[in-house]
Amino acid sequence: MITKQHDADAYGQELARISHHQHEATSARFTVFQALAAAGIGHEQADDIVSKLEAAAVAGAHTWISKSSAPHGSDPRFEDGWHEGVREVASYLLRIADTTATTGHGRAASSAMLLAHVQQPVSPAPEEAPTDEQAPAPPLEAKDVLAAAERFPWALAAPDERHWPDGEFLDVALSAVRAKEREGYIERLEAFVKQRRARLEELLRVYGPGSMPASQGRYALIGQPATLVILERMETHPFGLRARWEKELETVLLDDLEFAWGPRTRLSR
């Protein structure tokens, strides 16, 4: 029991360190995009530069792992297992490097938009219209949204592989749907999923149930129907999503999802 508790504590500390590095990387990437923009580098070229740097970092990890060896004096069978594990991890890192080098499009433009938003002066609040002239926002039923999400099997894990029901995560994501977006939101979600089919298939394959990252207890949201709503909000209204999430839930699952998706604007802090 003590050993299990120690393992859980050590793993929790490891997750905290990973989260810290992710947050620091987000801030550093934003600074790099600002510097490149100031130097006159266009968005597409900036995306290409940063993606190559990130891919090189993963490639460096591949080299480091590939050169590792079993402890001196290990049993030959242990050495065989060690080298087999090293080859598997190295191959996985190589696939990540290949993907990282080609999937960073749109992040420089989003960073510029974020900077413009932050620097925009606060406008005085408009006068509220009389109550009888305000049209109520149309209702957004979670069960209807969930039924729409279930129509996209290429983005979802099999029901028996999912981690939990879609209750609180879906509720938080839907709370970030602004009143003006509620009418026709299901159609918006369907269009989002169809447009990103290849990216969603890759996300499920690389990080979903049965993958190596998932076996370590990470990326638990991937494969859930509610996650399609979370991803749509992450790209459409990231500030609102994170603000709602931080009030209701631990952020580690959202941080993991942001990292795996590689969204246009990462808001982890």
How many beta carbons lie within 10 A of that of residue 173, not counting itself? 25
Res 58: pLDDT? 81
pLDDT bin (cut points 50, 70, 90) of residue 3 is: low
Question: What predicted TM-score, i.e. pTM, was given to this entire model?
Answer: 0.53
CA–CA distance, 90 with 66 (Å, rounded to integer): 6
Contacts of 192 (CB under 8 A, 6+ apart): 228, 231, 232, 235, 236
Res 29: pLDDT? 73
Nearest to 104 by CA among 96, 116, 113, 94: 96
pLDDT bin (cut points 50, 70, 90) of residue 15 is: low
pLDDT bin (cut points 50, 70, 90) of residue 92 is: confident
Q: Where is average pLDDT lowest: 92-101, 110-119, 140-149? A: 110-119
pLDDT bin (cut points 50, 70, 90) of residue 75 is: confident
Residues 231 and 243 sit within 8 Å (Cβ to Cβ): no
Average model confidence (pLDDT) across the chain: 78
Higher pLDDT: 112 or 208? It is 208
Report residue 114 as tokens: 């974020």
Contacts of 110 (CB under 8 A, 6+ apart): 263, 264, 265
Q: Is the pLDDT of residue 159 over 90?
A: no
Mean pLDDT, rounded, for 148-158 = 90
CA–CA distance, 40 with 108 (Å, rounded to integer): 12
- CA separation, residue 192 to residues 5, 101, 113 (Å): 42, 23, 20
CA–CA distance, 244 with 227 (Å, rounded to integer): 15
Maximal CA-CA distance, the chain: 82
Res 174: pLDDT? 93
Higher pLDDT: 203 or 62? It is 203
What proportion of the chain, given as a percentage, has pLDDT over 70? 74
Q: Is the pLDDT of residue 236 over 70?
A: yes
56-62 long-range contacts, Cβ below 8 Å, gap at least 24? 56/97, 58/93, 58/96, 58/97, 58/100, 59/93, 59/94, 59/97, 61/93, 62/90, 62/93, 62/94, 62/97
Question: Tens of pLDDT along 118-145?
Answer: 455 545 555 555 444 555 666 788 899 9
Residues 178 and 254 sit within 8 Å (Cβ to Cβ): no
